[in-house]
Amino acid sequence: MIDGLSGTMIVLVAVSALGVLSYARAAGPRSNPFYAAYLLLVAGLTGMSVTGDLFNLYVFLEITGLAAYVLVASDDSGRSAIAALRYLLIGTVGASLFLLGIGYAYIATGTLNMGDLATQIAEVGYTATLVQAAFAFVVVGLFIKVAIFPLHTWQPEAYASAPDSVSALISALVSTVSAYALVRVVYTAFTADFLEANPLAADLLGAAAAVSIVAGSLLAVAQSEVKRMLAYSSVAQFGLVVAAASLVNETAMIGAVVHLVGHALMKGSLFLAAGVVATATGARTVSEYDGLVDRLPVGAGAFGVLALAMVGVPPTLGFVGKWYIALGAVESGSWVLVVVIVASTLLTLAYFARLVERMFFRDPATALADEVGVAASEDEAEVVADGSDLGATDGVVTSGSDPATDGGDDAPSTDRVTFGMYAVVVVTAVLAVALGLAVFEYAEFLEPTITRLLTP
């Protein structure tokens, strides 16, 4: 089933995957399992985007999940294996709850086709207990996949410990397409009438979203590792998307899609930028970003632009999405959400500003410079190619590194960022700003789809 919404997702998946691929070509991991899982992931995501059947959605959700678990662990470090297992356990619970919800829907209606479900559920009645239970399980299951607070616990560690290319790919796509699936199931299968008949359901969606925005941002402020910070930022940003989806409003829904796409582009390339920074300088924590602009002007610049876009400085993509969502919230008169959405700018600023300040307005710490200089090759092996074990320093370890999987040992200098890696980051940074001006045309293209989605 292809409409404007799923078409958007397919294009997004294809483009982001291509961008990450061109980055991963140089940055690794260069193993066969990585490319196999990468292809499987893209297949699963595309499947999730196009399917019109609830059970197929479940299968594709699990395929995506499987590929994502493998990808997270693809750098052969102990840390990422733990993160991947955690991700696997929680992700499976999410998918299983989703399956349970499907079960309820099937018992209630006898069908699993989304279009058919819409009519059948209307016949069964929107307030039937079975239908309500189905909705609850499906939504909670997908919340886990999207990583809405407090069901996000798998996400920061998975993003932070995965190789940079993988973090970018997963952060850009997996939660995004899951959020799309949430919108698709809620609006195509359950329809807007369900939300109208069960105002509590819509309210709870909105409340969860609001909590996610605030809590995600606050947690992001508390992080010292850059990639963890970016991960928590995703928790907050998806709160914004779900908030928009809970409003049953055309403008807000367009905003949700715009923000989904915008977040995917921006967050994906923020992770790539973090990867570039780590590759070139070894900096991975917030304090190591001190004076980054002197060491890596282009990387710091791109990171700064993307961070500002994420904050929602107009006229970037981040702002336009927020404008649509906020306008939709105003139109439907949910003032609490308006306040949270508008204030989310400040919350986002809180964690990005300190990073920007450190990058541009601090002199690099001398200790760090020494460390990077002296321990360059060791640092490199750990940071770039992920060939060495984080656990290697623990002494508990036997051996986990597999030299065949990547170029961990051909990394003599600290300056291995290729032109291609820069190009991806810079191009998306420019896109994040420039696309803001093109959103309206896209919104016009999307409007018929959204109208159909909201009026069953």
- 225 pairs with which residues across the strands? 285
Shortest Å, Cβ 54 to other proteins: 10
123 contacts other proteins (rule: CB under 8 A): no
Q: Which of residues 68-87 bind other proteins (CB under 8 A)?
A: 69-70, 73, 76-79, 81-82, 84-85
Can you tell me the distance from the alpha carbon of 220 to that of 235, in angstroms, rounded to the nearest whole number?
Answer: 9
Shortest Å, Cβ 25 to other proteins: 25
Quote the crossing angle between the two packed helices 199-221 and 226-245, to the nearest 10°: 160
Q: Residue 73: which of 64, 84, 89 has the closest Cα?
A: 84
349 contacts other proteins (rule: CB under 8 A): yes
Question: At CB < 8 A and 24+ separation, what contacts does 21-25 make?
Answer: 22/420, 22/423, 22/424, 23/165, 23/168, 23/272, 23/275, 23/420, 23/421, 23/424, 23/425, 24/165, 25/420
Shortest Å, Cβ 320 to other proteins: 6
Contact 97, 133 (CB under 8 A): no
Q: Residue 153: which of 205, 99, 94, 206 has the closest Cα?
A: 94
Shortest Å, Cβ 358 to other proteins: 9
* CB of 272 or CB of 341, closer to other proteins: 341
| End-to-end Cα distance, the chain | 16
* CB of 248 or CB of 349, closer to other proteins: 349
For residue 61, CA distances in Å to 43, 68, 237, 344 come to 11, 10, 21, 30
Lay out the site mask for other proteins across 263-302 (x = CB under 8 A, - = otherwise).
----------------------------------------
Q: Which of residues 101-120 bind other proteins (CB under 8 A)?
A: 103, 106-107, 112
Rg of the chain, C-alpha, whole Å: 22
Q: Which of residues 194-253 bind other proteins (CB under 8 A)?
A: 251
Segment contacting other proteins by CB under 8 A, of 15-23, 182-190, 331-339, 414-422: 331-339
Instruction: Select the residue interacting with other proteins from 2, 11, 39, 89 (CB under 8 A).
Output: 89
445 contacts other proteins (rule: CB under 8 A): no
Sign of CA dihedral 6, 58, 64, 36: negative
342 contacts other proteins (rule: CB under 8 A): yes
Shortest Å, Cβ 151 to other proteins: 14
Shortest Å, Cβ 83 to other proteins: 9
Q: Residue 317: which of 437, 442, 424, 444 has the closest Cα?
A: 437
Shortest Å, Cβ 95 to other proteins: 8
Segment contacting other proteins by CB under 8 A, of 43-51, 174-182, 205-213, 314-322: 314-322
Instruction: Select the residue interacting with other proteins from 3, 55, 115, 203 (CB under 8 A).
Output: 55
Peptide bond preceding 456: is omega within 30 degrees of 0, i.e. cis? Answer: no
Neighbours of 129 (CB within 10 A): 10
Instruction: Select the residue interacting with other proteins from 1, 10, 15, 327 (CB under 8 A).
Output: 327
Contact 160, 32 (CB under 8 A): no
156 contacts other proteins (rule: CB under 8 A): no
* CB of 342 or CB of 376, closer to other proteins: 342
Can you tell me the distance from the alpha carbon of 266 to that of 326, in angstroms, rounded to the nearest whole number?
Answer: 20
66 contacts other proteins (rule: CB under 8 A): yes
360 contacts other proteins (rule: CB under 8 A): yes
Can you tell me the distance from the alpha carbon of 3 to that of 276, in angstroms, rounded to the nearest whole number?
Answer: 36
Q: Exposure of 73 by Cβ count < 10 A (0-12 exposed, 13-18 middle, 19+ buried)?
A: buried
Instruction: Select the residue interacting with other proteins from 313, 376, 427, 454 (CB under 8 A).
Output: 313
Q: Which of residues 385-444 bind other proteins (CB under 8 A)?
A: 389-391, 393-394, 396-400, 437, 439-440, 443
Alpha carbon 212 to its chain's center: 14
Given the rule CB under 8 A, which residues bind other proteins?
Answer: 55, 58-59, 62-63, 65-66, 69-70, 73, 76-79, 81-82, 84-85, 88-89, 92-93, 96, 99-100, 103, 106-107, 112, 251, 308, 313-315, 319-320, 323-324, 326-327, 330-331, 338-339, 342-343, 345-346, 349, 353, 357, 360-363, 389-391, 393-394, 396-400, 437, 439-440, 443
